Amino acid sequence: MPHMMKCTQCGATAVLNMPQHRLKLCAEHLVAWATKMTQKAIDRYGLFTRDERILVAVSGGKDSLALWDMLHQLDYTTEGLYINLGIDHEAYSDVSQCAVQQFAEERGLLLHVVNMRDVYGHSVVEAARGRRGGRICSVCGLVKRYIMNRMANEGEFDAIATGHNLDDEVAVLLMNTLHWEQRYLSRQAPLLPSIHPRLARKVKPLVLLYERETAAYALVRQIDYVTQECPYAEGASSIFAKRILNQLERRSPGTKYQFYLGFLRLREAGYIAAAEQPVGPMQACTQCGQPTTADGLCAFCRLWKETT
C-alpha cells in the first residue's frame, strides 16, 4: 500500500500534495484553503466587492463551476452565463449546458443561457466556416467576448468573472514572453478595468490556483462537471506550453507560481510598460449599439453579416 499522506493541518488523510506551498491537505482543509486563495486574489487585485453584481461565465468545466461555487460560498452576488456555441461533436455544447443547468438548480442560482443558433441564427462552427481562413477559436473568442459584454451590459453587472486558473495564465505568459508580445503582456492581469461605461471589467479570481487544485476542489465538493474537452481545443499551442511548464514544475516545485507572480509584481511596479495602443474614441455599433472603435458595425456584427 502506498505511503499514506497526512494533512499538514490536522493529520487526517490528505487528498492533495502541494509541494510548491509545502502543504498536504485533507478534503476539508483543501476546500477551505482553495476558497481562501480565491478570496486572497479578489482582495489583493481589487477584483470586486460584496456590493457588486458579478456575472460568472461558466462552460461546464471544472474551473468555472468551481469558481461559481466558491463565490457563492463566499457570499458574493452572482449570476451565471452559459453560451451554447452550437458545437455538436459528441453533443459537446448540449452536454455542457445540462451540467451547468443542473449545477445552478441544485444551488438555487440564477443562470442565463444564450443559444447561438436560437438567438443569432448560427453556431460558431458555421460562423467560422463563412470566414475565409477563419480559425474557429478566434471566431469563438470574438463571439464569447461579445456576448459576455452584451449580457453584462444589459443586466447591469459590475464585472464578468472567468475561471482561468494559474496554469492557463502561465501558459499564455510563456508564449507571450517567447514572442515578446508587449501589447499582450501589458494587458495580461487578473483584472482588466472597464474602458467604457457599457463594458464591464473582467476578472479572474482563480489565478492563484493550479489546475490540479481547482480539479481537486471540484471533486471534493462533488461538482458534476464536464470532463469532455471542446473538440477544437486539441492542438492549441497553449496545451504544449502547459506540458513544458509542468515538466519544469516537477523538477522545481513552485516554478509556475513564481513565474506568474513575479511577472505580476514587475507589471505592478511598472516594468512592463503598458503599450497602450491608442484606443480610438468608442461609438455605438450602428446595428447592435455595443461600443466599438470601428466606424459603423462592430466586429461581431461584421462577422455576422459575412456569415448570412
Residues contacting 201, CB < 8 A, separation 6+: 48, 158, 159, 160, 191, 192, 193, 194
Find the shortest distance in angstroms from Cβ 262 to ligand Q46: 26
Of 8 and 238, nearer to ligand Q46 (C-beta) is 238
Q: Kindly state the cell numbers that stand for 130.
A: 463563412
CA distance 56 to 206: 12
57 touches, from ligand Q46, Zn ion, none (C-beta below 5 to 8 Å by class): none
Binding site for Zn ion (CB under 5 A): 7, 9-10, 12, 26, 29, 285, 287-288, 298, 301
Of 99 and 140, nearer to ligand Q46 (C-beta) is 140
CA distance 280 to 206: 32
Quickly list H helices, the chain: 27-44, 62-73, 92-107, 116-120, 124-129, 136-154, 166-178, 182-187, 211-220, 237-251, 255-268, 299-307
Binding site for ligand Q46 (CB under 6 A): 136-137, 140-141, 230, 232-233
Of 137 and 299, nearer to ligand Q46 (C-beta) is 137
Of 10 and 239, nearer to Zn ion (C-beta) is 10
136 touches, from Zn ion, ligand Q46, none (C-beta below 5 to 8 Å by class): ligand Q46
185 touches, from Zn ion, ligand Q46, none (C-beta below 5 to 8 Å by class): none
Find the shortest distance in angstroms from Cβ 153 to ligand Q46: 22
148 touches, from ligand Q46, Zn ion, none (C-beta below 5 to 8 Å by class): none
CA distance 171 to 189: 13
Asked if 65 and 215 touch (Cβ cutoff 8 Å), the reply is no
Of 177 and 238, nearer to ligand Q46 (C-beta) is 238
Find the shortest distance in angstroms from Cβ 124 to ligand Q46: 6
Of 92 and 260, nearer to ligand Q46 (C-beta) is 92
Of 147 and 230, nearer to ligand Q46 (C-beta) is 230
230 touches, from ligand Q46, Zn ion, none (C-beta below 5 to 8 Å by class): ligand Q46
Name the residue type at position 296. Answer: G
The per-residue DSSP string of 108-155 comes to T--EEEEEHHHHHSS-HHHHHHTSTT--HHHHHHHHHHHHHHHHHHHT
166 touches, from Zn ion, ligand Q46, none (C-beta below 5 to 8 Å by class): none
71 touches, from Zn ion, ligand Q46, none (C-beta below 5 to 8 Å by class): none
Q: What angle do CA 58, 61, 66 make, to 5 degrees?
A: 70
Find the shortest distance in angstroms from Cβ 96 to Zn ion: 26
Helix (H, G, I), strand (E, B) or coil at 274: coil
